[in-house]
Amino acid sequence: MLPSLRLANVHKPLIRFLGRRQWPAHPEEPHPHPFAPPEAKQHFQDFLKKFQSSSPASASSPASSSSKSGAKGQVYQDFWQAPPRYWKRELQDWEIELVQTGGASLH
C-alpha cells in the first residue's frame, strides 16, 4: 500500500483571532472594581496606601516588619524564627490515615 497525501485537505480552525497578541508595556493603574460598592470606591486610596505599606517589598528586615505590625502579630521570614509550635513536624500514621480516608477512620 502506498501512503496517501492529504495536502489539499488541511485543517483550518473555525476560530479567528484579530491582530497579534500585544501586552501592555506598563501595568494598569490600581483602581476599584467598577461594580464595587460606593463606600469601597470612596476608601480605595486609603486601602491602597495600607496595602503598599504592608507589602513584603517595603519591609527591610523581619525585625522592622514585626515592629511595624505591633499588636497584630509578628511577621517571620523563615520558619525557624517562629515559635516551635508552628514548625513542620512528622505526621503520625493515624494522622495520615485520617487525611487519606477523608476523616472517616476512627481514632
Q: What is the pLDDT of residue 65?
A: 45
Q: Quick one: cell of 98? A: 485520617
Closest CA to 98 of 89, 90, 107, 88: 107
Q: What is the pLDDT of residue 37?
A: 94
Q: Quick one: cell of 63? A: 525585625
Mark the ranges of the chain whose per-residue pLDDT is less than 50.
58-70
Q: Quick one: cell of 29? A: 493603574
The pTM of the whole model exceeds 0.85: no
Q: What is the pLDDT of residue 63?
A: 47
Q: What is the pLDDT of residue 66?
A: 44
